[in-house]
Amino acid sequence: MGDRSAVMLLLHRTVVPGLRQAYRLKSAPSRLCIRACSTNDSFQPQCSSHAISGDNSSTRGWRVMGTLLGLGAVLAYHDHRCRAAEESPRLYTREEVRSHSSPETGIWVTLGSEVFDVTEFVDLHPGGPSKLMLAAGGPLEPFWALYAVHNQSHVREILAQYKIGELSPDDKAASILKTSDPYADDPIRHPALKVNSQRPFNAEPPPELLTENYITPNPIFFTRNHLPVPNLDPDTYRLHVVGPPGGQSLCLSLDDLYQFPKHEITVTLQCAGNRRSEMTRFKEVRGLEWSAGAISTARWAGARLCDVLAQAGHQLSETEAHVCFEGLDSDPTGTAYGASIPLARAMDPEAEVLLAYEMNGQPLPRDHGFPVRVVVPGVVGARHVKWLGKVSVEPEESYSHWQRRDYKGFSPCVDWDTVDFDSAPSIQELPVQSAITQPKDGETIESGEVTVKGYAWSGGGRAVVRVDVSLDGGLTWQVAELDGEEQHARKAWAWRLWQLQAPVPAGKKELNIVCKAVDDSYNVQPDTVAPIWNLRGVLSNAWHRVHVHVAP
């Protein structure tokens, strides 16, 4: 009995810890541990149905105990190797992670200090491969911040299976050094944004994220800056509103603005150069190469401009007048960004022009005008002046370069040798627009059924009443289903998202998908770029086209 007691004690000391480790591995698998601990040994432990008791079963009992001892030894050794692997994970630099950003190199991502090889998981990603690929070679945090559903224990358990190591503690994240560079203090941006220029910063969200939500998340809202981003102190911020002759000017703090009735509206902002790249493919233009993402939608809140102007003593004028805005962003010479809108629009309560201090329920991000910007529903983004510092009413429109010498449309026959900017009006309301965001151009789709998604919007508060979609380049058409908030006549300030599910024509190896929108004035997009081409590449609203391949 003494020998058997000793054996039982040994069993307890070896098998139980091993079984505990096996259970731990089953409940929270670790790819790093499995790689470090896997062996070529395999065994199938046999469970005896006989009790280990009685003289006649002693031999079988000793065999069972021997098997368990062997199992315990293997599991204990496995536990030892896993602990060693966990104590000394492989270290990688951020540069090594960045170099793994394609199927050819392998797709790595980071979360905190951990490194994961998710190459095998990309095609399994519930949101589709393209969304996970946005984080390839970089951190997951910015994307998990957009989609909080990821930050759950079962998602982290799935991710843990792909862990291959950790970031080297010696490889610190790059810090922004204070230099004489006027852009050195610009804010950090979301890595999903497609950057069109760094200085000044201009970027758009990728199409697969653009219409993921009706309201565009702040971090991926398209960014159009003309100058360095100012870093303003909300406590010392003041907005100067020039009063009429004989009246009294206002000097408003943020707290002063909060005293005006708070007004909230959902508004789509679109850059005049949205979809400029399509004009460039037809004939060279000057300007940033925007794709179809220089447009976004937010819920804005602030004081109505008409209330603030009335407080300063302004009234509608029988003669032409303009409200001029001046930003607190400026170039090294002190020249600030400026723009203007007609006084009639500014004073109309139904036009709902805002001095906005909130965006999607939060203070304005720095890239979007913190602490105060202008929001002019239905009007080109160039008039939505950010970092607002001054408002005045003038007999003529703003003398700013961006009002007088930019953001104007011209005939296709006008070139840079013959252009006369004084001959054309400044862009205010934009024409009807739509674009396809899914599938992407060049993508391969499955046969059977295709889902086409996109957005549609028209300037001036005109509601989108229909979106037509063609799978054959415009020979035949189908009507898409409109989503989003209900729109009111003359106050349709926000876009409509739309989608169409349609069978892929049998035998087709490729599709030429086209969309066009119609607004409530029955304005419709032109079919080609050629008749609307202009030297600045603005007002690009031809039918949007996407060419895709059909998998055999």
Q: What is the DSSP string of 132-197?
A: HHTTTTSBSHHHHHH-GGGSSHHHHHHHHTTEEEEE-TTSPPPPPPP-S-TTTTPPP--TTSEEEE
* Residue 214 known to be catalytic: no
Q: Which of 31, 81, 83, 150 is catalytic?
A: 150
- All residues at 6 or more sequence positions from 294 whose CB lies less than 8 Å from its CB, including other chains: 204, 222, 224, 270, 271, 273, 274, 275, 381
Residue 524, number of CB atoms within 10 A of its CB? 17
Distance separating alpha carbons of residues 164 and 68, to the nearest angstrom: 32
Q: Are 250 and 308 in contact (CB under 8 A)?
A: yes
pLDDT digits (tens), the chain, 552 positions: 444 444 343 444 444 444 444 433 333 334 444 333 333 333 333 333 333 334 444 444 444 444 444 444 444 445 544 554 556 889 999 999 999 999 999 999 999 999 999 999 998 887 778 878 989 999 998 888 766 668 788 789 899 999 999 999 988 665 444 456 889 999 999 999 999 999 999 999 999 999 999 999 999 999 999 999 999 999 999 999 999 998 889 999 999 999 999 999 999 999 999 999 999 999 999 999 999 999 999 999 999 999 999 999 999 988 999 999 999 999 878 899 999 999 999 999 999 999 999 999 999 999 999 999 999 999 999 999 999 999 999 999 999 999 999 999 999 999 999 999 999 999 999 999 999 999 999 999 999 999 999 999 999 999 999 999 999 999 999 999 999 888 888 999 999 999 999 999 999 999 999 999 999 999 999 999 999 999 999 999 999 999 999 999
Given 271, 306, 324, 515, the catalytic residue: 271
Q: What is the CATH number assigned to the segment(s) 91-174? A: 3.10.120.10
Place of tokens 């929001």: 375
Domain ranges, ordered by start, for the chain: 91-174, 194-405, 432-550
251 catalytic per annotation: no
C-alpha to C-alpha distance for 311 and 305, rounded to whole angstroms: 10
**Euclidean distance between CA atoms 455 and 269, whole angstroms:** 13
Is the pTM of the predicted complex or chain greater than 0.85?
no
What pLDDT shows up at residue 82?
53
| Peptide bond just before 371 cis, omega within 30 deg | yes
202-to-75, 86, 226, 273 alpha-carbon distances in Å:
56, 43, 8, 12
Taking a C-beta distance cutoff of 8 angstroms, is the pair 33, 22 a contact?
no
Would you state the pLDDT for residue 129? 85
CATH topology assigned to domain 432-550: Immunoglobulin-like (2.60.40)
What distance in Å separates the CA atoms of residue 464 and residue 495, rounded to the nearest whole number? 8
The C-alpha atoms of residue 433 and residue 518 are separated, in whole angstroms, by: 8
Structure tokens at 531: 């008749």
CA distance 62 to 346: 94
Quick check: is 407 catalytic?
Answer: yes
What beta strand segments (E) does 75-119 contain?
91-92, 101-102, 106-111, 114-117
Residue 235 CA neighbour count, 13 Å, CB half? 0
Residue 329 per-residue DSSP state: E
Residue 524 CA to residue 532 CA, distance in Å, equals 13
Q: What's the rounded Cα separation, in Å, for the pair 500 and 527?
A: 20
Catalytic residue among 366, 407, 496, 544: 407
**In what side-by-side order are the strands of the sheet with 464-470?**
444-445, 544-550, 510-519, 464-470, 478-479
Residues linked to residue 501 through DSSP beta bridges, in sequence order: 451
Cis peptide bond N-terminal to 200, omega within 30: yes
Q: Which residues fall within 8 angstroms of residue 160, CB to CB, at 6 or more apart?
A: 28, 29, 30, 31
**Residue 54 DSSP class:** S
Q: What is the per-residue DSSP string for 251-281?
A: EE-HHHHHTSPEEEEEEEEE-TTTTHHHHHH
Q: Within 10 Å of residue 130's Cβ, how many Cβ atoms?
A: 17
DSSP 48: P
Structure token pair of residue 510 = 């490729």
Place of tokens 């723009």: 339
Rg of the Cα atoms in the chain? 31
Smallest CA-to-CA distance from 234 within 251, 254, 250, 252 is with 254
Looking at residue 333, its pLDDT comes to 80
- Residue 125: predicted pLDDT: 86
CATH topology of domain 194-405: Sulfite Oxidase; Chain A, domain 2 (3.90.420)
98 is catalytic: no
SS3 37: helix
CB 273 within 8 A of CB 406: no
Q: What are phi and psi of 355, to 5 degrees?
A: -100, 95
Reported residue count of the chain is 552
- Nearest partner of 131 among 58, 26, 209, 219, judged by Cα: 209
Q: Are strands 239-241 and 388-394 parallel, antiparallel or unpaired?
A: parallel
CA distance 203 to 220: 9
Q: Of residues 94, 224, 366, 462, which has the active-site annotation?
A: 224
Residue 154 is a catalytic residue: no
Write the DSSP symbol of residue 45: P
**Type of residue at 474:** G
